[in-house]
A and B are shown apart, each in its own frame.
Chain A
Amino acid sequence: MQPTTPNFKQNARDAIANDPLQAALGKLAVGFPMRRLEAAARLPEFENLRDQARDIKTHVLENLDYYLEAYEQKVVESGGHVHWCRDAEEARETILEICQKAGAKTVTKSKSMISEEIAVNKYLEENGIEPVETDLGEYIIQLRKEPPSHIIAPAIHLSKEQVAETFRNAHIDLAADRDLDEPRSLLEEARAKLREKFLGADVGLTGANMLIAETGTNVLVTNEGNADLTNNLPRVHVVIASIEKIVPTLEDASTILRVLARSATGQDISVYTTFCTGPRRPEDLDGPEEYHVVLLDNGRSEMIGSEFHEMLRCIRCGACLNHCPIYKSVGGHAYGWVYSGPMGAVLIPNLIGMEEAQHLPNASTLCGKCESVCPMRIPLPKMLRKWRERQFRAHTGAPSARWALRGWAWLAKRPGLYRWAMNVGVAVLGQFGGRGRFRSLPLASGWTSKRDLAAPAGDTFINQFHKGARGDQSGALMRKKVH
């Protein structure tokens, strides 16, 4: 998709003015964090598991080449194929080729952020193949031609009325006056529509939550079971996954599964957890005839060893979005590309370039909530700051802000001059701040456009202290004592 990240500020304003979106975000803001907290409280070893999960991925990233080769070997041994793709274009072409060889007209898909990242749907359509998203949320946004607004809840920004309207516009073969008031009826309509697609698809395209090197298995986590129908029913199963999805063993996968759903939705485990290894064997009752894994780099290998290395531990649980006050204010679309929230603000500049995405690392208070809930203990605020450092070195951002900041720093490095300047400034502002605060102030309009600004007291603390003033019952008394 064409990123709208450069318009972040306008996107954010639009999002804040969008009432249905704000209502949806209000629900998310309470629901997910509360359920995560409850789930963590039910499991005494949760914090320990987070450490273990982090260590597993840290170890993998240090030995990624080894594990990727081991994984490939196991996939091949089980009768599957591995396709190594450097970038989005190669991945799209590879997928198209597999589909064309299979003579596919329809491709069913279970939710995959990587498939969003490489925009494979549009590419398949352009080449005469119909991709059908089978996760309910993804299905809805596919009908609306929208990107996901959340990595695990792609249609979280929509109300059920908006979904009903979407279905009425899309399913024109159904009675126009049918009842779509209840979530149940929406669900049943989608299920009936998707059932036809599942049965008719030639290729099933899924993502992977993990790839297990020990066994050559891909793991899929869903709550709807749509991934099972996607990987089992069609003749060909294609897995698209980025290279950092590797874990060494089944045991490691189960450790990560124990933190994944708890962090994401507060479930102990998702409703379906599916392990796929190779194509159908003669003794299997079902399964695909062909099994392909498209292994995508798309910028990951460049992140290895960089200051963004640790971002590669991410398991896309969405906890950092659910807990982020910025995300909860503006929703996912404001970020302007397929990822969002703190993980998106770190990842997007890596994937589409810092120039395009320069707002994202800055639009954060660095409050640290994301890091405190990230199951993989990724230091997200630290990495946002690393982007800011890169931007500062590259002179991106407004020159006026840069000079104001550097001017302040210049002064802060010269205590004598600083003290003189502050004394003057505080005395002047103190003169005008007789009512205790300013409702507007030149050069401070960024602040005073939204809130009053407390006025300084007329003399600095350090000055007063060194003139011998000491604390009394009140600031007013103190000032009198000094003057």
Chain B
Amino acid sequence: MSDTAKPTVGLFATCLVDLMRPVVGFAAVKLLEDAGCRVDVPVAQTCCGQPAYNSGDKTDAQDIAKSVIETFEGFDYVVAPSGSCAGMIKDHYPEAFEDDTEWRPRAQALAAKTYELMSFLADVRGVTSTGAAFEGTVTYHDSCSGLRELGIKDQPRALLSTVSGLHISEGKETETCCGFGGLFCVKYPDISEKMVDAKVDDIVATGADTVLAGDLGCLMNIAGRLQRRGLSIKARHAAEVLAGMSAAPAIGEPADEE
């Protein structure tokens, strides 16, 4: 396919990936390019505005949303390696501009072409396998927004099941919130701890050596708790595994001395 015939994808890296875990961004770029897309990562992006929106600061959330809309509306698709940020754009931008006749249609138009990474690969680009390899038993945590706002459940599992060497061991409570909740986890640390402990127990019970998910927020929460409890189970974004970039240190792990 000539480059001009390829659909353009604006990668919304998400603030957490940008700041905390670049490898997820690179994995996303690779997966999207392999799926026949032309990928750009606009420098003008910051954050989707979720912390403001979920804290009731609607005005700031709207302002941030406007800048995301302006930055990304020229692409054929907008893809984020996060169900929660994609859900923010897809579900909550139109809702945030409910009463704004100028911005609502623009928010809706952007929402219509915005996807979470793995559902985009599977549902829009028809990717069935990414040709990656990973030795180990993994378990998958369904992040709340991805699962309940965007219906992401089968897509990551279908893609992961084709990774050679990878075995999936399902938890009993994969659909239960890990207790992250953005600012919730610092505002209500005791409840959050109780929730993430339940999540960690469920992960431990699967016997997996790695927990995967599609959202870095949840993953940092789970990884942080695993490490605080002295458990050796690793946490990674599923895109890293799908893109064959799992030689990178797992979340919160030191870089290998080479």
Interface residues of A (CB under 8 A from B): 9, 12-13, 16, 325-326, 329-330, 362-369, 371-372, 382, 385, 387-393, 401, 405-406, 408-413, 415, 418-419, 422, 425-426, 434-437, 439, 444, 446-447, 449-457, 459-462, 464-466, 469-479
Contacts and interface: CB of A to CB of B under 8 A. Distances in A.
B247 A477 contact: yes
Given A392-B57, A413-B64, A365 B144 contact: yes
A390 B53 CA distance: 12
A326 B178 CA distance: 11
Contact of B249 (A13, A436, A459): A436
Nearest to A22: B194
B244 interface: yes
Given A362-B187, A364-B181, A365-B177, A452 B57 contact: no
A449 B150 CA distance: 32
Q: A-B pairs with the 7 shortest C-beta distances?
A: A365-B181, A446-B186, A471-B26, A475-B248, A451-B224, A388-B56, A474-B247
B41 A462 contact: yes
A405 B177 contact: no
Given A454-B20, A469-B26, A476-B247, 17 more contacts: A362-B187, A364-B184, A367-B177, A392-B58, A412-B52, A418-B46, A426-B19, A437-B253, A452-B228, A453-B220, A453-B252, A454-B220, A457-B21, A461-B24, A473-B248, A476-B256, A478-B22
Nearest to B235: A454
Contacts of A476: 247-249, 255-256, 258
A465 B17 CA distance: 12
5 contacts: A389-B56, A411-B46, A412-B52, A449-B189, A477-B247
Contacts of B252: 436-437, 452-455
Contact of A450 (B19, B22, B57, B193): B193
B55 A392 contact: yes
A409 B60 contact: yes
A16 B196 CA distance: 13
Contacts of A453: 220, 224, 252
Contacts of B18: 422, 460-462
B185 interface: yes
B187 A446 contact: yes
A368 B145 contact: yes
Contacts of A436: 249, 252-255
Contacts, number: 255
Contacts of A329: 191, 194-195
Interface string B153-178: 00000000000000000000001110
B86 to A, nearest CB: 14
Contacts of A382: 95
B196 A450 contact: yes
Interface residues of B, number: 83
B191 A437 contact: no
A466 B144 CA distance: 32
B181 A367 contact: yes
B56 A390 contact: yes
Contacts of B185: 446-447, 450
A465 B33 CA distance: 14
Contacts of B44: 415
Contact of A478 (B23, B45, B191): B23
A435 B55 CA distance: 33
B82 interface: no
B17 A461 contact: yes
For A410, A413, A418, which residue has the most chain B Cβ atoms within 10 angstroms? A413
A164 B53 CA distance: 48
Contact of A451 (B182, B188, B221): B221
A435 B188 CA distance: 27
Contacts of A368: 144-145, 148-149
A12 B196 CA distance: 16
A435 B185 CA distance: 23
Given A16-B194, A329-B195, A457-B20, A451 B247 contact: no
